[in-house]
Each structure stands twice: as structure tokens, then as C-alpha cells.
Amino acid sequence: MPYKILHSLLWLSGLLFGVLPFFMHHSYGEISPYLGENNFGTHVLIVLISAAIGSTIWGGLSRWLSSGDFIQHKAKTWMLTSLFGLWVIIALGYFGILSSWAYLLVAATLLAIVLFGAIRISHHPAPKRTELSKIWQWLKHPQASNGPFFLALYSLLAWHNITLINAMQELEPMHKFSLIINRMCTQLALTGILYFIIQLSIENGPRWSRPWIWAIISIAPITIVLDLVMHSFWNQTFLFFLNNLGTDGILNFDRELRGGGVDLSIVSLLGIISGTILLFCGITYLCSKLGSKWKFAPMWMSLLIVLGFTGATIEQAIGMSWKSRRNWMQEYQEFGLQLSPIRPENGVAHFDVEFRQHHWQTQHESIEFKHKPDIYLIFIESFRQDALLSEITPFLYEFAQNEAQPIDHTWTASNGTHLSWFSTFTSRVATAREHSRDVAHAKQWPGLDVFHLLKNSGYDLQIHTAKSLEFRDMGCHFIGYGKTPFSVIRECVEGDATFGLSYPEREVIVFEDLKKQISEQTPGGHFTISTIDSPHFKYSWHPDFDIPFPDYYEHAFFPSSPTEEDTRLIKNQYFNALAWGDHLAKDFCEHLKKIGKYDDSIVIFMGDHGEEFQEHGGWLHVSSLEDEQVQSPMLIKWPKSMGRGPEISEANHLDLMPSLFEYLHGGSLPIDTAGVSLLSQQEPHTSISTTAQGGLTKEAMLLTRDGFKAYFTWPQYFNGRQSDTLTLTRFVGPHGDIILDSPEDYANALEEFFPDGITRFFTKFELTPK
């Protein structure tokens, strides 16, 4: 067998050897290359690095065996021995006979046997001290290394980092200047490290692999640009975006785009991706041609790595003496990769916890209701609290002032639609959603227990929406399919009259059909869910609607570095969409009044989450738990016979179902919910908002009560599941950050300012000893 074929087979086998531990979920103590679900982007990096290491080791062995006299040293024999042995190890690893450290140990043993045999039996020259000079000569010898590509890559990284630093509004100019020095040094070192990874991969791989290696590296500039877009648009990294999508989200990316308001077919998306990759591959090829005579010694790259690492470390060492902990932590939130071993403490206090499981929906098969009014629950997409103004949403503003229960402001249960809906319907903390979906999947999607409880108690359930409910399994999980408790499920699917139309056009059809159906229903016993989705990005309204803000942003996508005027126009576009939603809400209520069903019905308008417009450096939602994203109105009009209900200073969407059930039952129920009833709760109570989409802040839980806020994070929060550890990242009072002396002080402050929240949301909440 020719050497080139043997070398290729050994290189490919080394690549497979490197990635097998990931796919077989090997673990090395507490470390595993497979990090669990919702780590798609990180897993891609791990696979690429593992493949590079495995192929370089075994490809390098092949190169070494073939050096010198190929026939005299029996290089072919030892290459075949290596190849056969490696195949046996890979097979044993695949079938689970070898795993973890044993898998690596046996491979190391094979490597040692081949090296020993080639040297002792076949007299292959062993590396000598004098041969170390060859490494030095290689480092000193100028060679063509696609210098223009690495220079362009570093320039792109520098531009990316400086752009992000300039957008960090909380940092003072001196802090920004210091951080720019840190990032320039960091990117210098990273560019040098990437250079050596590429060089080793190319020199130890077969010649045919080089175009493929460069094709993969050509994706790096694309990811840098996408990362900047993600930072600017959603205030999160591209890596976090991929992780949050997970494998299922990647496989159904067109569905994810539609859920995010981007109407782009999978064919179009694949075309854009393929074209972009081909373009950058072409640019990389041109760089290699331009740099064919541009030679430089690898030694200079080694010096740049040392210089970059040293510079970043010195900057952090000096900075720790004058940077505030919060601003220093912001560096690590903004830039996940820092080379310096000097870093701020991760959080101010750590806790061992156990989330309380609220299974109140299964405590009763049915409930005897004293009252059974019609209930109309209408979600208004992306409705932030401070947009409830007479000049934007005049009908809903008057509705809130004169008819709805007086609530000063409302916290959403999360910052994303699927999580917010789950908590609103179930009065369970949003971190319970993934486990609930697992159980529902195993039961073949029966729908939420709360809806079965309502049906068994005599309610007819219907949903009429202009959106598609396939996003994140919202439809099958919440509404159910097959044995669903809903008598009517209308959504935007192929075959429906709304399919293919814009959101406003769909909403006109859905609400007209819903009004006709309501007119024909007997009063009482109907629970109807509907949505107004036009205020979701891309904010839209019906062409016949007279918008209140004629000057608005008309482009498809937002600028990455917006001016104040850009932001004002974009907010006007959003306000116009909300005004259209307000028009639909008014028309719906006027119809209920016209047919005589308004006074005796419960009518609820609520946002699923808020919306950010650069208040904290990003757009839209699903990127933080700041007020703009987790304060959204919940307007509840009770039947006229009851009045408006008690005045509440602040509420949470978790409180909706306990309030409804108390009214329907005619008194309080002995059920354990995460929310509280707004009909009987008079004192301020703790609200909780949780998310799997904390963006750059990495903050996944917020406790708030009476002006005080506590933000938390935990490892793997982005998988959407509950953790047994929490880290308190910051504690905020009515006048700003509260800085205390010790973790014990923070623990005591949590008990003081959130006395009801700890017991309502947790069965265990203990400070972790140092």
C-alpha cells in the first residue's frame, strides 16, 4: 500500500479517534467533552479541537515513521501496525469496552509500542538533543504561511472588540481604554495560537486535506461578524445563540426563524449560508495567493503569543486595584474568553438550593366552581410596561385606568414567549418548563394539566391565534394534540385562511372569525386564548391603519451602532405596531359590549415579555432580565358585579391562574402555586423571573420585591433546567447597587428583603461555605 494512502488512513483514523470520546460521552472525573443538551456551538468547537488533536498526533506519527530511509526502517510495517491497532481501539471505544482514561491509556500504550519498536527493532533514528535544533531552525526559517489572512483576521477581531467596548455605556473612558489594551493583547495571542494549530494540522496531514482545513478556518471571519451582529441585536454571543438553539433548533432552524419574526425558508437560508462560505473561502484563497511571497518565521508568532498573554495579564493585574467588581465582571460577560489568570470573583455569594415543585394542577381532578364566566385571555407580543400610554395605546391605557384591576406594574415570569406562556398557564417557575416538556413528550402530548382541570370543571377551551404554535413545541406541549382538552385549536398552518399572509392580515381574519363564533355561543363556561402578534419584530400593522407615528424606521434590520435618531425611529415603528394591537383590542371589547357579553366576562390583556431598545446595549428580548424585558402589563377586567378588585402595587404573571381559580371557586383554594392570588394578597410579595436566555449578563433568575432586586446565575442555565446551586451576581436597591461586606451579609439581606419568596420558590436555600 503506497505511503500516501497509509498516511491518509492513519490521519483520518486519528481524527476519528479524537472525536469518539465526545460522541460516546466519555468522562474524565468531573470533566466530559460532551456537556449535555443545549451546547451545540460549544460542542462544534470541542469536536473541531478534538479532531485536530487526534489527527495531528497520529498524522505526526506517520510523518515521523516515514522520515529517513522508508524501506530500511520498515516504516510501512509500523504504519500498518499503528493503523490496525488504532482501528481496534476505536472499535473497542465504540462498543463501550474501552472508555474514559482506559481509552486514552491504551492508545498511549500503542503509541509507545510503535515508537519503541521502530527505534529498537527497525533502528529508526531516535530524537536526539541535537535534533531540538531542528525545531529552532523551523521557528527561525521564514516560510509562506498565508500572512495576509492572519493579518486580516486580527484586524477583524480588533474591530469587533473595539466596537463592543465603545457600546459598553456603563464603563468610564479610562476603563474602556484599559480594556482595549487587554483585548488587543488577547487577540494577538489567540491569532498566534490559531496560526500554530493550522500549521501543525497542515504539516501533519495529507496534502489533499489542506483545502478542507483552510475551508473550515475560512468560517472564522464569518463567526466574528455574526458574533458582532448577535451582540448588537440580541445582546448575546453567537456561541450562546447556537448553544441556546440546541441540536433540535439547528435541525428546525426555519421554524426558529419564523418564531423570531423572520420569514425565511430553509432553502433560502441554506443558499445564503453556502454562498457566504464560498465567498469567504475564495477570500482566503486570494489571501494565500497574495501571501505566497510574504514569508515570515514562526518564531515571530511565538513572540506575539508571549507578548499578548503577558500584556493581558499585566492589564488585569493593574486593573484589579481600581476597577469596580461589577464593571470588571462586565468584561467577562462581554468577552467570554480571557487569557489572564487574574479575574474577578464570580458572584458575591453562592447557595445550595432546591427549587420547590408546584404540582397544584394535579391535586384535584376537578373543582366545583361557584362562578363560570366567559374568560378571554389575549397575549400581546413584546408589550413593555412603559408603552402603556395614552398616545400609544389609548384604549388599553383607559382600560387599565378605569376597568382593569389597579396594578401599578407587573413582572413577567420570563423574557421569552414559550417560557412566559408556560409560567402564566401553570403558575410554575419557568425553569420547570423543560422537565414538563419531557413528561408531556413521554405521554404523547396530552396538553397542560391546568387545561384538563379547567375542562373537567366544566369549561370549554379554545385557542385562536395568528401565529404558528410549533415554536419550541409550544402547541403540542401547552395545548396538546390527539387527546387535547381544547375543542378548537386555530393557528397559522398550511391550509388555514391565514397561511402566507402578514401578521396584521392574519389577525383581522382570526378576530373576525372569533367574534362571529362568540356571538353564537351561550354565555358562560368558555375559556378562550388569543394573541396579537404584530408588535413582535418585525413590527407591523395593517396598511389601512392610521398610525400615530408617521416617522419610523423603514429598513428590514436594525443598525449595529445606532444613533439616537435611529433608536427613536425604531421605537416609533414598535409603537405603531402596539397601536395596531390596541386597535384590535378595542374592536374586540366593543364587540363583546355590542352582544352583551362584556360586563359578565373576565377579559385579560397581557404582554408575554417586554422589549429592549438599546437601554442596555441590545435590541428586542431574550437577552437579559432587565426591566425593559421583564416588565409587561397584565390587565385583568373582572366581571362588573365584582368591581375592579383590590389595588396591588406589583404583580407577576405567575399570579394570574391563582387569581382566576380563587374567583371561579368563590374563595381561596388550598393549592401550592408559585404565584399568589391578586384577590386576597394585599402586602407586597416577591416576584420571580427566570430564563434560559440570559445573554451576555448570564443572569438567569431575578427576585424582586418593593424596589429590591437580586440577580442570580448558575452553570448550564441556558439548558432551561433547574440547578442545585445558585450564584448571586448582584443585589440592587431602589437607589442602585448594594455592596455588602460578606456572603453572609448578602444571605441575610435576601431573607430580609424577600421573606416570602425564599419559602415559596425553594425548599432548600443555604449559603455555601467558602
Residue among 294, 284, 298 nearest 214 (CA): 284
Which stretches within 598-717 are classed as H helix? 627-630, 656-665
pLDDT at position 324, please?
81
Residue among 545, 543, 548, 637 nearest 589 (CA): 637
Q: How confident is the model at residue 75 (pLDDT cuts 50, 70, 90)?
A: confident
Most confident of 552-556, 561-565, 577-581, 698-702: 577-581
Instruction: Look at strands 701-705 and 602-607 and give their pairing.
Output: unpaired
Overall average pLDDT of the 264-278 stretch: 73
* Distance of alpha carbon 216 from alpha carbon 274, whole angstroms: 13
CA distances from 78 to 1, 16, 187 (A): 13, 19, 41
Residue among 626, 596, 600 nearest 614 (CA): 626
pLDDT at position 134, please?
65
Q: How far is CA 368 from the centre of its chain?
A: 42
pLDDT at position 21, please?
94
Least confident interval from 86-95, 289-298, 635-644: 289-298
Overall average pLDDT of the 632-641 stretch: 96
Q: Which residue has the higher pLDDT, 345 or 375?
A: 375
Position 654 pLDDT exceeds 80: yes
pLDDT at position 623, please?
85
Residues 467-498 pLDDT 10s: 999 888 899 999 998 889 999 999 999 899 99
Position 385 pLDDT exceeds 60: yes
pLDDT at position 573, please?
96
pLDDT at position 260, please?
57
Q: How confident is the model at residue 646 (pLDDT cuts 50, 70, 90)?
A: very high
> Residue 605, SS3?
strand
Least confident interval from 72-76, 172-176, 403-407: 72-76
Q: What is the average pLDDT value for the chain, to the nearest integer?
A: 89
* Distance of alpha carbon 118 from alpha carbon 115, whole angstroms: 5
Q: How confident is the model at residue 506 (pLDDT cuts 50, 70, 90)?
A: very high
Position 187 pLDDT exceeds 90: yes
What residue type is assigned to position 200 of the chain? L
| Residue 475 DSSP label | I
* Contacts for 723 with CB less than 8 Å, ≥ 6 apart: 353, 431, 714, 715, 716, 717
Q: Please provide residue 326's backbone torsions phi and psi, each rounded to the nearest 5 degrees.
A: -65, -45
* Distance of alpha carbon 22 from alpha carbon 34, whole angstroms: 5
Residues 447-458 pLDDT 10s: 999 999 999 999
Asked if residue 713 lies in contact with residue 699, where contact means CB atoms within 8 angstroms, the answer is: yes
> Residue 526, SS3?
strand
How big, in percent rounded to 5, are the helix, strand and coil portions of the chain?
50, 10, 35
Position 186 pLDDT exceeds 90: yes
Q: For the residues of 127-176, what is the DSSP string, one character each? A: P-GGGHHHHHHHHHS-EE--HHHHHHHHHHHHHHHHHHHHT-TTS-HHHH
Residue among 547, 488, 545 nearest 521 (CA): 488
Beta-ladder partners of 619 = 613
Q: Which residue has the higher pLDDT, 269 or 453?
A: 453
Overall average pLDDT of the 673-690 stretch: 90
What residue type is assigned to position 620 of the chain? L
Overall average pLDDT of the 391-415 stretch: 96
Query: Would you call the peptide bond into 770 cis, given omega within 30 degrees of 0 as the criterion?
Result: no
pLDDT at position 563, please?
87
Half-sphere exposure at residue 63, Cβ-oriented, CA atoms within 13 angstroms: 15
Q: Which helix (H) or strand (E) holds 490?
A: strand 486-490
Percent of the chain exceeding pLDDT 70 equals 94
**What are the CB-based long-range contacts (under 8 Å, 24+) for 397-402?**
399/585, 399/589, 399/605, 399/635, 399/637, 400/633, 400/635
Q: Which helix (H) or strand (E) holds 276?
A: helix 266-290
pLDDT at position 24, please?
93
Q: Which residue has the higher pLDDT, 642 or 472?
A: 642
Residues 100-149 pLDDT 10s: 999 999 999 999 999 888 888 887 877 666 555 666 676 777 777 788 88
Which stretches within 378-537 are classed as H helix? 394-402, 417-426, 433-442, 449-456, 474, 503-520
Asked if residue 635 lies in contact with residue 654, where contact means CB atoms within 8 angstroms, the answer is: no
* Distance of alpha carbon 647 from alpha carbon 166, whole angstroms: 44
Encode 484-522: b = buried (16+ Cβ within 10 Å), e = exposed: bbbeebbbbeeebebeeebbbbbbbbbbeebbeebeeee
Position 246 pLDDT exceeds 70: no
Q: How confident is the model at residue 330 (pLDDT cuts 50, 70, 90)?
A: confident
Position 721 pLDDT exceeds 80: yes
Position 261 pLDDT exceeds 60: no
Least confident interval from 4-8, 34-38, 201-205, 224-228: 34-38
Asked if residue 337 lies in contact with residue 186, where contact means CB atoms within 8 angstroms, the answer is: yes
Overall average pLDDT of the 501-509 stretch: 95
pLDDT at position 342, please?
82
pLDDT at position 338, please?
78
Residues 682-711 pLDDT 10s: 678 999 999 988 777 889 999 999 999 999
Overall average pLDDT of the 510-518 stretch: 96
* Distance of alpha carbon 355 from alpha carbon 431, whole angstroms: 9
pLDDT at position 496, please?
92
Q: For the residues of 353-415, what is the DSSP string, one character each? A: EEE----GGGS-S----S----EEEEEETT--GGG--TTT-HHHHHHHHHTS--EEEEE-S-S
Residues 740-764 pLDDT 10s: 989 999 999 999 999 999 999 999 9
Residues 190-219 pLDDT 10s: 999 998 888 888 888 898 998 888 888 888
Q: How confident is the model at residue 251 (pLDDT cuts 50, 70, 90)?
A: low
Overall average pLDDT of the 254-273 stretch: 64
pLDDT at position 164, please?
86
Q: How confident is the model at residue 247 (pLDDT cuts 50, 70, 90)?
A: low
* Distance of alpha carbon 126 from alpha carbon 157, whole angstroms: 42
pLDDT at position 401, please?
96
